[in-house]
Amino acid sequence: DIVMTQSPDSLAVSLGERATINCKSSQSVLYSSDNKNYLAWYQQKPGQPPKLLIYWASTRESGVPDRFNGSGSGTDFTLTINSLQGEDVAVYYCQQNYGSPLTFGGGTKVEIK
């Protein structure tokens, strides 16, 4: 199984500042045939189901604000939330869809400082 490890477990950021979340996979999720990283990010707000934010490590889902940015390749990935807004308070999960079983990171809780 591909193990996904996120850090930190939680972070508190002031409104308007940047939040940075890391995700590391136990093996590369870069598929050589299409040169795509099979890594996604989800946002889960309190009491709601998860919502897909980013796929292929850096492609935003339709309607996702451009303050959300994904980067990285191979085994190391980052989700950056620029200019944090109050509505961004949530738990963020990375997920790999490179191999079976599909696996998620443990989540990172983002709060307002």
What residues make contact with another protein under the rule CB under 8 A? 38, 40, 42, 44, 48-52, 55, 93, 95, 97-98, 100-107
Looking at the Cβ atoms of 13 and 52, the one nearer to another protein is 52
**CA separation for the pair 38, 73 (Å, rounded):** 9
**CA separation for the pair 14, 112 (Å, rounded):** 6
Looking at the Cβ atoms of 75 and 96, the one nearer to another protein is 96
Contact yes or no for 71/80 (Cβ under 8 A): yes
The alpha carbon of 42 is separated from its chain's Cα centroid by a whole number of angstroms, namely 6
Looking at the Cβ atoms of 74 and 106, the one nearer to another protein is 106
Least CB distance to another protein at residue 64 (A): 13
Parallel, antiparallel, or unpaired: how do β-strands 76-81 and 68-73 relate?
A: antiparallel
Count of Cβ atoms closer than 10 Å to residue 37 Cβ:
25
Looking at the Cβ atoms of 6 and 75, the one nearer to another protein is 6
Least CB distance to another protein at residue 61 (A): 9
Contact yes or no for 58/69 (Cβ under 8 A): yes
Least CB distance to another protein at residue 88 (A): 19
Least CB distance to another protein at residue 107 (A): 5
